[in-house]
Every structure is written in C-alpha cells, then in structure tokens.
Structure 1
Amino acid sequence: MEERKLTKKDYVVVSSMLFALFFGAENLIFPLHLGQLAGANWLPAALGFLVTGVLLPLLSVLAISITHSEGVYDVGKPLGPVFALVFMVLIHGTIGPLFGTPRTATVSYTVGVAPLVPAHLQTLGLVVFSAVFFALAYFLSVEQSKIVSNVGKLLNPVFLVLLVFVFFLGFSGPLGSTASQAVTTAYKTGAFTNGFLQGYNTMDALAGLAFGVTVVTAVKFMGKKNANSIAFVTARAGLFSMGFEAIIYLALILLGAMSLGKFAVSANGGVAFDQIVNHYLGVVGQSILAALITLTCLTTAIGLVAAFAQDFHKHFPKISYKTWLAFTSAASFLTANLGLNQIIAWSTPVLMFLYPLAMALILLSVFSPLFHRDSVVYKFVVTFTVVPALFDMMAAFPPVVSQSGLGKAMASFQQSYLPFAQYGMDWVVPALVGMVLGVGCYLVKRHVSLGKVPEQNQQ
C-alpha cells in the first residue's frame, strides 16, 4: 500500500499540534517575567533563553526522529528493556498525574479563573473547574486519530488569535521603550546566563520525550507508515513548531521589557500578564487572560494524558488506551484537589533525578549515528550522570530530608566539587567524561572486531 503524501497544510497542522503540546502556561508567563527582569538587556537574556528553551526541546524531538523511536521507552532501550520501562514509568508519572498534568489545571485556575471567583468559593471553584478541565482533556483525546485535528486545527488557532490580539495591543500602543528600562542586578552583567538558566529550568526537554509517542501516532494516522518517513515528518514538524515558539518567546520577552514603562517588576509573569491586559482592556482583559491560560494549559494537558495512555497501552496492552486515559485524567483531577503541594514536594526530587538522565539520553540519541547507538557508550554516560542526578534529587527533597545530616553533607560536596552545580548543570562534566570513556571503548571494540574480519578471510 502506497504512503499518503502529506500536504503543506498537513505539516502546518502537525506543527501546530506539537507547538500547542509544548506551550503551556509557564511558557506564556516565564518569558514575560524574564523581559521585566532584564529590562534594557532583554536581547541577550532572550538569546540565552532561546538556546535552552527552544534548542533543548527541539533536540528531544530530533532524538525521537534520529533514532526512529516511537516514544520515551525506545530512547532508553539501548540500556536494556528494564531500564527503558522504569524510565518511561517515572517520566510519565512525574510529568503526568503526580506533577505536570495536575498543574495544568491548577495554574490555569489560579491565574485565569480564581480572580473572578469569590474568596469563599475558591475550593469549590477549583473542584468544578478541574473536573470540567480534565473531562475536556479526556474527550478531546479519547479518539487518537482526532488529537491532531482537535489540537492543531481547533484549540491552538484560537489560542494564537487571542495571543496575536494581545501582541497587537502591546506593540501598537507600547507601554514604554526598552532602551530606557531599569535592569535588575542579576541581569546587569549576566543577562545571557540568566536567560539560559531560565530556559533550561522549564524542563521542556522532558515533555519532548513524552510527546514523541503522540506525534508519531498522529503522523501514522495521517497515512505515514514507513519509519524513515515518520522520522522525517517528526523532525520537520519539530523545526517548524520550535521556530514559531522562538518568535512567540521573543515577542513575550520584549513585551515584558516594554511593560516597565508603566509597571514595576512583578512577582511573576502571571501578575505581569494580568496588569498588561487589564491596562488595555479592563475587565475584558481578565477574561482574555483566563481564555489564553486555559487554552494553553488544556492543549498541554491533552498531550500529557494522551502520551501517558499511548505509552502505557503500548507496553501494557491488556489495558485499553481509553482505560489508561481515564485513569490518568482521574488521577490528575484527584492530585489537583487533594494535596497537590504535598505530592509536588515529593515528586519534584524524582523529576530532578530524571532530568539529567533525560538530557544525557537526548544528546546520546542525537549523536548516536556517530557510534551506531552502541550500548557501551550509553552505559558509560548514564552511569556517570547518575551520580550528580542523585545529588540533585537530594537537594530537591523537602527540608526533612534535604536538611538532614546526610542532605547537608551531600549539598556541601555538590557545591564544592561538582562543576556548574550552582547552575543546576552539575551533570555536564561527568557525562562528558563518561562519553569520552564510552566512545573510547566503542572504538577499541570496533577496531578489534574489524581486525578479526581479515583474519577470518585469510583462514
């Protein structure tokens, strides 16, 4: 059966879907706040943010494409099926119902809806809002073949129209000039570095690994069956979506810097966005903000619940996709309403442990053609990365653990002996050491195996 050739419209829709899956509420409000913090130094801060906030998620998509993977499990497969399965479960658990997915509901409620709800009804308001929110996430992803249409053709275009409207207001009637705006202390000499770290700390690279299965599944439903074709479409959609995301980030950072002409630096980007839209539109502005935040959180939630269900159904096929989808949607609703802060406090350390491993696996996947995806290289790099990842995990635990005798001793060692620990990137040097040793072993093994071929031919 001949493959269907995708049209330009198909590529736009897939790219739109991928953009929407990545672009959550924090992607909307972080850059805005970054612009306020950087002030006149907004450009170097923006460039730093783009390196990590756009390049790393793009690399995660390319990792899926280059290795012809169908999800996070395949990315970890060179380390063995047990590691790959445990890694997949932990990734989906932490960015799914234990942390990431519930936050899509709580953030959209807190920033967009809570200001419209009376104080005595806040708890009930969150229950009702999150119930409707996750019901929508379920129904819009229950048919896998319609996810790309629901997100790429329906929800994301509405979100972009509203966002472009805000940009039109902000740039046609600017609140001030960026050149004359104050720069906070940290951004006077380290604008690029601080922007770099802000982008790194979004952890969107993890989401890229998780969303891989959703993108690959969507491309298959569009008529692509060949692994090379799927990989090409995935990579191209990644380039388009991340390129567009970079443009949005630049506009948001610039808008944040310009807002200093009217407002002081806000506590966070949500407050800044609220101030900006209310300045231009009054009460209507709050409604637009609520719609923007809810839409961008909903599309991300759809991606997270769908990816969870797709990956778990693939590896535990006795349970249907719809059952897994209902499970993660219901679990996310419960987490959002029953002790989210406590669950986040204990799931964040797991996330901090996984992030260095995910970054190492992404980079290994991108460069895997150079060493034929040899498992020896993977094992060396990941083994060396585990050590700083354990230190990161310990530092992220609640005080009862992180401030214990062991916790303080590990923190002291980490800050004293692991390079770049103060930036949260203490895994880089150990991973490079592991890479050198792993590639060295790979080259020796390859040399020995090539040497045996002539000997066998002579015999």
Structure 2
Amino acid sequence: MLEERKLTKRDYFVVSSMLFGLFFGAGNLIFPLHLGQLAGQNWVPAALGFLVTGVLLPLLSVLAISITRSEGVYDVGRPLGPVFALLFMILIHGTIGPLFGTPRTATVSYTVGLAPLVPKNFQTVGLLVFSAVFFGLALFFSLEENKIVNNIGKLLNPVFLVLLAGVFFLAFSSPMGHAGVQHATAAYTSGSFVNGFLQGYNTMDALAGLAFGVTVVTAVRTLGKKRANSVALVTARAGVFAMAMIAVIYVGLIFVGAMSLGKFKVSANGGIAFDQIVNHYMGVAGQAILATLITVTCLTTAIGLVAAFAQDFHKHFPKVSYRTWLVLTTLASFLTANIGLNQIIAWSTPMLMFLYPLSMVLILLSVASPLFHKDPVVYKFVVLFTVVPAFFDMVTAFPAVVSQSSFGKAMTGFEQAYLPFANYGLAWLVPALVGAVLGVAVHVFKRVSARNTVSQTE
C-alpha cells in the first residue's frame, strides 16, 4: 500500500478552484440568463432540469475519468474498441473545440462587450477584427504547454466572481420585476423541466469534463494521493464544492433572467440579455468593466480548449506537432466565430442532441463499470440502443433547411410515431434503458455460464 499525504483545506481549495476555472466559461454565463427569460414564472423546474445536465453530469464525467483511471476522452470510449474511441474523441473535441465551443468564447465576448458600441453597418468587420485579436492571444498564450496554467492566471476567477456578485446584489436589491408572475414562453408552459434539462446541453460541460477530467486527476495525484480510490474521493469532494458554487451561480442567473422580463422582452440569446441587464444597473461604465472581465474569462477558456485539442490530437496523431495542431484549431475557431453567435448556437444544438446522450450513457457506464467488471458487452448494448434514437433527435433539432426537408420530416415522423418521449427530445432514454437491461442480463449469463464450466471441469 502506497503512503499517502493527507490533504489540507488549501489543497482541496486548489483542486476545487481548478475545476471551477475549467468549467466556467462563456456558455455558463449566457445560457442560464436566457433560460430564465424563456421560463419566466416556471423558472424553478427549468432550473432543476438545467442543474442535472449543467452540474450533475459534469461532476460525474470527472468521476468517470477517475474511477476508470482513464487518460482522457479516448479511454472512456475504449471498451467499445479503438475505432469507436478515436471517432468519439474527434467528435467531442470538434464540438467543444473549433466547430462550436471555442468559437463561442469569442462571439460571446464580442456580443456582450463590443457589439453594443459598434454601428450596425460595421458589426461584421467588428467581429472579424475582434476574433482575430482574440484568437491571436489564445494562440500566443498556449504555445508553451508547461506555461499554460501560469499564463491563464490565478486571480481572474475571484475577481470575476466579485463583480458578478455585485450584479447579483443590484439585481436582488432593486429587482426589475417579480419572477413568479412573468410570462413563460410556449415551450416552458408545461415542459419547463425537460426543456431546462435540454438547455443544459448547451454548456457543453459534460463533454468538457471528459476532456479536462484527466487534468484534475493528475493534479490530485501530484498533491500526494496515489491510490485510485483516494483520487476518486478527493476528486468527488472537490468536485462537489466546485459544482455547488457553479449551481448557486446558475440559479442566480436564471432567477435574474426571469426578473428581467419586467423590463425587457425575451432576447435572441443570453449575450444580449446580459448586456441589457448590466446596462440597466451600471450603465456604460459598468458594462465596460464587466465586458473586459468576460472577455478575459472567455479567453482563459479558449486557451484551455485549444490546448486540450492540440494535446489530445498530437497524442493520437504524433506525426503532426502540438504547435501545428494548435495553429489549425485556432484558425478553424476564428473562421467559425465569424458565422455569428446565433448561427453557432443554432448549428451546435443538433450536434449536442446527438453527442450528449452518448456521453451521458458512457459517463454513467464508466462510473458503474466496477459493478459489471467493465464488460464491453454492456457498453455495446447500451450505446447501440442509444445511438440510433440520438441520431433521430439530431436530425429533428437541425435548422429548417435540414429538419424541414423530406428526409428530416421522414425521420421526425418515424421518431414521434415509435419512440417514447420523442416530443421532448429524449427519444434515446427508453432504448438506452432497454439496452442496459439486456447488456447486464448477457453479462450475468456469461459469468454464470463461466462458473458452471469451471465447476464441471473440476
């Protein structure tokens, strides 16, 4: 048994702060606000649904990395074979990286900070220049792998939280309206919990947890914890503290979003909502301060995302250097960012509708894997029964150019006719449970048969 160092409260704080810094980025700020505006008086059940996919699943994703002793996204999918694992890694990093997640860090910063100050005729040029500078800085600060953490800085999160607390204080002491009487949009009149659950996909944190989990596990080991059980326990404790803090912020943002309906209409996205709220309470000066901090916070997230992409791709495709992968993902993120925030959100939603169910079942399977000895047959049944309905959900969630095509309508019609909960975007849920039952049944049958064979041999 390896000797282990007993961790201090400061050690737990360091790990918790790291977790918070990794997870809290652009989407964590704008989507809860927008959810509050969409849900109105039904903000409480919407918030509960949001916390499941926005808080609980990211925590479980980190635990999944720890429990299975994985080295990243690839290892989480490894029980299904190297081809699936590699494809899953590419899809995860592409989604949280240059296709959607990383570009969003620049578009949110621009939408909240500069867009209100730029004339409408120059919005396109403004975003082009801003995103070029933004990703140029992200590339510069992530060139040296061993300096990334120091380059990000340790004071950014605390300072940002202090100013965000100031916004909360103003919003609660001088509310724009009563959250309990604000009108809910049609989708949130009766399905607020499920829609909040689906909105949690947009944070991408469960996917990010799979990519960043190994960073946290490695940090815990460097603090003196060696045994897998101890690492998992420390990660769980620190994770609970970090995610509890994020949960508090989420609830506050959702509540403020609902109250803002007393002064404003439902915005096109959470970036616009945040800009409206800050301007209402603090004017242009307050907006400038917060916009700067949001830009810096989003920049730190972008640095982590481009670095994680380059590190993982260099590991699996070593002929291409870390710096080359870094330049490629940064350039791709710059190009995608100039599509605009609304378009990024519109096209990322269907991809998340496909990837989140797969990620959820793999996270839960990883956490529960000691119960069935990580038997690949259980993984195969669950994933096979999940991937098909998840594909249907993806097609249904695409913009009209796809979802309203003859192919899209055929997929949607089949899904709604034969799959339970399809109307809620959860067509995968029942098939995944059926797959789990069948997979476990086959696993138990195999073990019983093996024992009987051994007994007969003896």
Name the TM-score, length of structure 2 as normaliser.
0.89
Task: Please give the residue correspondences for 1:64-75 in structure 2 after superposition, counting only pairs within 5 Å.
Answer: 64-75=65-76
Aligned to 1:363: 364
* Per-residue deviation, residues 208-263 of structure 1 (Å, max 9, x unmatched): 21222433454456566655554444333322221111010111122223333444
1:119 Cα deviation (Å)? 3.7
Aligned to 1:107: 108
Query: CA, structure 1 residues 345+176, in 2 after alignment: closer, same or farther (shift >3 Å)?
Result: closer
Aligned to 2:200: 199
* Gap regions ≥5 residues in structure 2: none
Task: Please give the residue correspondences for 1:381-420 in structure 2 after superposition, counting only pairs within 5 Å.
Answer: 381-397=382-398, 399=400, 401-420=402-421
* Per-residue deviation, residues 396-418 of structure 1 (Å, max 9, x unmatched): 45555544433322211011111
CA contact (8 A) 1:16 1:153 kept: no
Worse-matched range after superposition: 322-331 or 76-85? 322-331
- Residue 175 of structure 2 aligns to a residue whose secondary structure is coil
1:178 Cα deviation (Å)? 3.5
1:162 Cα deviation (Å)? 1.8
Query: CA, structure 1 residues 349+429, in 2 after alignment: closer, same or farther (shift >3 Å)?
Result: same
**Whole-Å separation in 1 of the counterparts to 2:301 and 2:410:** 38
Letter aligned with residue 299 of structure 1: T
- Residue 318 of structure 2 aligns to a residue whose secondary structure is coil
**Whole-Å separation in 2 of the counterparts to 1:199 and 1:380:** 26
Query: CA, structure 1 residues 288+343, in 2 after alignment: closer, same or farther (shift >3 Å)?
Result: closer
1:133 Cα deviation (Å)? 1.6
Aligned to 1:78: 79
* Per-residue deviation, residues 372-427 of structure 1 (Å, max 9, x unmatched): 11000001111111211222333345555544433322211011111111221111
Aligned to 1:288: 289
* Per-residue deviation, residues 114-165 of structure 1 (Å, max 9, x unmatched): 2222344433322332222223323444444444455472322222122112
Aligned to 1:45: 46
- Residue 153 of structure 1 aligns to a residue whose secondary structure is coil
**Whole-Å separation in 2 of the counterparts to 1:312 and 1:38:** 40
**Whole-Å separation in 1 of the counterparts to 2:120 and 2:145:** 39
Task: Please give the residue correspondences for 1:182-197 in structure 2 after superposition, counting only pairs within 5 Å.
Answer: 182-197=183-198
1:174 Cα deviation (Å)? 2.8
Alpha carbon RMSD of aligned pairs, Å?
Answer: 3.0
Aligned to 1:92: 93
* Per-residue deviation, residues 327-386 of structure 1 (Å, max 9, x unmatched): 322321233247998888777655443332222211211211211110000011111112
CA contact (8 A) 2:194 2:424 kept: no
**Whole-Å separation in 2 of the counterparts to 1:448 and 1:114:** 66
Name the TM-score, length of structure 1 as normaliser.
0.88
**Residues 1:329 and 2:349 aligned together:** no
1:62 Cα deviation (Å)? 1.8
CA contact (8 A) 1:15 1:241 kept: yes
CA contact (8 A) 1:175 1:258 kept: yes
**Residues 1:441 and 2:447 aligned together:** no
* Gap regions ≥5 residues in structure 1: none
Query: CA, structure 1 residues 33+344, in 2 after alignment: closer, same or farther (shift >3 Å)?
Result: closer
CA contact (8 A) 2:45 2:193 kept: yes
Worse-matched range after superposition: 129-138 or 331-340? 331-340
Query: CA, structure 1 residues 155+195, in 2 after alignment: closer, same or farther (shift >3 Å)?
Result: same
Query: CA, structure 1 residues 354+51, in 2 after alignment: closer, same or farther (shift >3 Å)?
Result: closer
CA contact (8 A) 2:66 2:214 kept: no
Sequence identity (%): 76
**Residues 1:240 and 2:260 aligned together:** no
1:308 Cα deviation (Å)? 0.9
**Whole-Å separation in 2 of the counterparts to 1:160 and 1:12:** 15
**Whole-Å separation in 1 of the counterparts to 2:348 and 2:182:** 39
CA contact (8 A) 1:395 1:411 kept: yes
Query: CA, structure 1 residues 451+305, in 2 after alignment: closer, same or farther (shift >3 Å)?
Result: same
1:92 Cα deviation (Å)? 0.9
**Whole-Å separation in 2 of the counterparts to 1:45 and 1:339:** 27
Aligned to 1:30: 31
Query: CA, structure 1 residues 338+46, in 2 after alignment: closer, same or farther (shift >3 Å)?
Result: closer
CA contact (8 A) 2:73 2:211 kept: yes
**How many residues get paired?**
457
**Residues 1:212 and 2:213 aligned together:** yes
